Amino acid sequence: MNQNSFLKLQGLSRWTVALLLTVFIWASQPEMVAQITTSGLVGRVIDDRGSAIANADVVVVHEPTGTRTTISTRGNGTFSVRGLRPGGPYTVSADAPGFVRGFQQNIFLDLGAEAEVTLALQSDEIIELEAFEVVGSSSDRFFASDRFGAGSQMGSEDIAAIPVGDRSLNSLLRLDPRIPLTVILLTGFFSRWCL
């Protein structure tokens, strides 16, 4: 260092030298400029032939907290999620019309890095059934052509099996929920039907 440059530095105030020294140290330490506290996830959604699937719904779930992030793929089938919590595990799933939902589990993210995921969705297969025939028979007791609407039919065997003591017409009518046995008279009192 020659004598002239040293004399020029002596002419600077102490505050100026301290400021220049602080800026020099600060600029030489990039980790002091910004601290990264998140991670990211990038990926593609493709079909079983390797073609990109546009507008697929992608859901990223942080399993320990249940935090969900939902995005759609771009036209080229790619997606990108930033600002995720480092660590994991994460589960990434993709769903698109005409495809079976695909997913990948146990994805762990490193601090400040982006993990890559490729989800291959299988096409929905259309299952074609063979023709089948339904055959049935009618019972004249329940399905007669002259009967329609709600109705009950009871024989002597049904009446004998009623779980009441008197087997009266009132007891029979109580078994049908469509028949009211209590009515409100105009006077406001309740009266039971007595048959």
The residues pairing with 59 across neighbouring beta strands, listed in sequence order, are 70, 93
What is 39-121's CATH number, 2.60.40.1120, 3.30.1360.80, 2.40.50.140, 1.10.10.10? 2.60.40.1120
Query: 79 pLDDT exceeds 90?
Result: yes
pLDDT of residue 135: 79
Please state, in angstroms and rounded to a whole number, the distance separating the CA atoms of residues 29 and 50.
44
Instruction: Give the domain ranges of the chain.
Output: 3-33, 39-121, 156-192
45 in Cβ contact with 58 (< 8 Å):
yes
Task: Please report, rounded to a whole number, the percentage of residues in the chain having pLDDT higher than 70.
Answer: 64
CA–chain centroid gap for 7, Å, is: 73
122 in Cβ contact with 48 (< 8 Å):
yes
pTM recorded for the entire structure: 0.49
SS3 164: coil
Please state, in angstroms and rounded to a whole number, the distance separating the CA atoms of residues 109 and 5.
52
CA–chain centroid gap for 65, Å, is: 15
175-190 average pLDDT score: 59
Neighbours of 158 (CB within 10 A): 12
pLDDT of residue 155: 75
